[in-house]
Amino acid sequence: MNKTNEPLLVIEDLTVAFPGQPTPVIDGLSLTLNRGEVLALVGESGSGKSMTALSLMRLLPAGGEITGGRIRFDGEDVLSLSDRQMNRMRGGRMAMLFQQPQAMLDPTSRVNAQIAEPLRVHRGFGRRAAMERVLDLLREVGIADPAVRARCFSHELSGGMAQRVMIAAALSGDPQMLIADEPTTALDVTVQAQILRLIDEQRRKRDLATLLITHDLAVVSALADRVAVMYAGRIVEEGPAKAVLESPQHPYTQALMRCSLLVPDQSGQLLSIPGSGTHARELTCGCRFHPRCSAASQHGIASRCMRSEPALKPDADGHETRCWAVEPEKESAA
């Protein structure tokens, strides 16, 4: 493996659009993921996190199209790979975990057959050798009685068990990068921690770069090296996990933090961000968060927020924020 300092994954200005939708679901997104690093992608549902993940795999749902930008993975231009090259990439060099593990398993196919697929298509295992390896993998992901479980169907597994199976299938192709799209959201609270621990354990052992998609800031603080916060198809804040969590700069990140603490306010109500982000993409000018933003009015910059969209500006420590409130008045001339 190429151990250079060059990041494993570089996304530049990625734009994804669906026909019939006036604005792109992902709009000029840039991210990097270093080797062995955990980057958390955070945001509300509908902010474009999952679409980002599926774009990397080039598995967007029907109609979805990457209309601009570049994706470089380990020196290769992902968007210009042929279908055949892309098949080798998927499961072999980048693997993915999903939100609903049970729905992700073919109901008519046994667990072992599905885990064995990357072994057989990417690593040239024969049937028997693959089945042996599947048992090892099941053991590695903490499944007791692997010989029995290997012959199960998805409906015979609990959610946590199904996600362990998906992890085994993801690891079986020995990838360099793991994309985990809300891997614990659909699971029982007690199981969530186990699955996260398993993912963390395995990615340390295998030096797996991990793109962790979540809306749970507790998960971020436990696992992530860096965080990118997404709102309405754009990155609004990005930086080292510690910096972003301890001193969030963007009003949206701050609001997310306050909401996730689940502390009631003076009137005894749980905090929530007023309004909804579903139509934020349709704003044609100004900051996409400004209709829901409290900082805009507090700082008396509401008219600027309405007029033009701020750029993603880094501070001295590489902590980037897309907000006028963070940039003092001097910017108004620019």
Partner 1 sequence: MWTRLLQRLLILGLMLLGVSLLAFLVPYVSGGDPVRTILMSRVRDLDVDPAAVEAMRIHLGLDRPLAVQYGAWLWQALQGDLGYSFASGRPVASEIGHALGVSITLALTALGIAAAVAIPLGTLAATRPGGTVDSATTLMVQTFVATPEYWLAPMGILVFALHLGWLPSAGWTSWTALVLPATVLSLRPMAYFTQVTRAAMMDVLQAPYITAARSRGLSMRQTVMRHGLRNGSLPVVTFFALWLAGLLGGSVVIEVIFAIPGMGRLLYEAVINRDVPMLQGGFVSIVALSILINTIADMLYVALNPAVRSGHAH
35 to 64, contacts with partner 1 by CB under 8 A?
Answer: 54, 57, 59, 61-62
Sheet with strand 94-97: strands edge to edge = 94-97, 177-181, 209-214, 38-42, 226-231, 234-240, 320-321, 313-314
- Residue among 78 and 273 whose Cβ is closer to partner 1: 78
Rule CB under 8 A: choose which of 28, 36, 68, 92 binds partner 1.
Answer: 92
211 to 270, contacts with partner 1 by CB under 8 A?
Answer: none
Q: Does 76 bind partner 1 (CB under 8 A)?
A: no
Name the β-bridge partners of 32: 10
Rounded CA separation 50/211 (Å): 11
Using CB under 8 A, count the residues that bind partner 1: 38
Q: What is the closest distance, in whole angstroms, from the C-beta atom of residue 234 to partner 1 in the complex?
A: 25
Q: Does 155 bind partner 1 (CB under 8 A)?
A: yes
Name the β-bridge partners of 94: 90, 177
DSSP reduced 3-state for 197? helix
Q: Does 277 bind partner 1 (CB under 8 A)?
A: no
Q: What is the closest distance, in whole angstroms, from the C-beta atom of residue 95 to partner 1 in the complex?
A: 7
- Residue among 83 and 317 whose Cβ is closer to partner 1: 83
Q: Does 95 bind partner 1 (CB under 8 A)?
A: yes
Nearest to 163 by CA among 147, 187, 133: 187
- Residue among 77 and 156 whose Cβ is closer to partner 1: 156
Nearest to 48 by CA among 260, 294, 236, 209: 236
Q: Does 282 bind partner 1 (CB under 8 A)?
A: no
Nearest to 321 by CA among 257, 253, 275: 253
Cβ proximity of 120 and 129 under 8 Å: no
Q: What is the closest distance, in whole angstroms, from the C-beta atom of residue 97 to partner 1 in the complex?
A: 9
Provide the mask over 166-195, with x wherever binding to partner 1 is found by CB under 8 A and - wherever it is not: x--xx--x----------------------
Provide the mask over 108-137, with x wherever binding to partner 1 is found by CB under 8 A and - wherever it is not: xx---xx--xx--xx---------------
Choose the stretch contacting partner 1; rule: CB under 8 A; options: 87-95, 209-217, 222-230, 240-248.
87-95
Rounded CA separation 180/177 (Å): 10
Nearest to 31 by CA among 92, 77, 76, 72: 72
Rule CB under 8 A: choose which of 70, 88, 139, 313 binds partner 1.
Answer: 88
The CA distances from residue 133 to 125, 129, 208, in Å, are 9, 6, 20
**Cβ atoms < 10 Å from Cβ of 201:** 13
Angle at 156 between CA 107 and CA 61, to 5 degrees: 35
Choose the stretch contacting partner 1; rule: CB under 8 A; options: 81-89, 142-150, 207-215, 281-289.
81-89
Nearest to 100 by CA among 173, 6, 27, 186: 186
Rule CB under 8 A: choose which of 21, 75, 77, 103 binds partner 1.
Answer: 103
Which residues contact partner 1 by CB under 8 A?
54, 57, 59, 61-62, 83-84, 87-92, 95-96, 98, 100, 103-109, 113-114, 117-118, 121-122, 153-156, 166, 169-170, 173
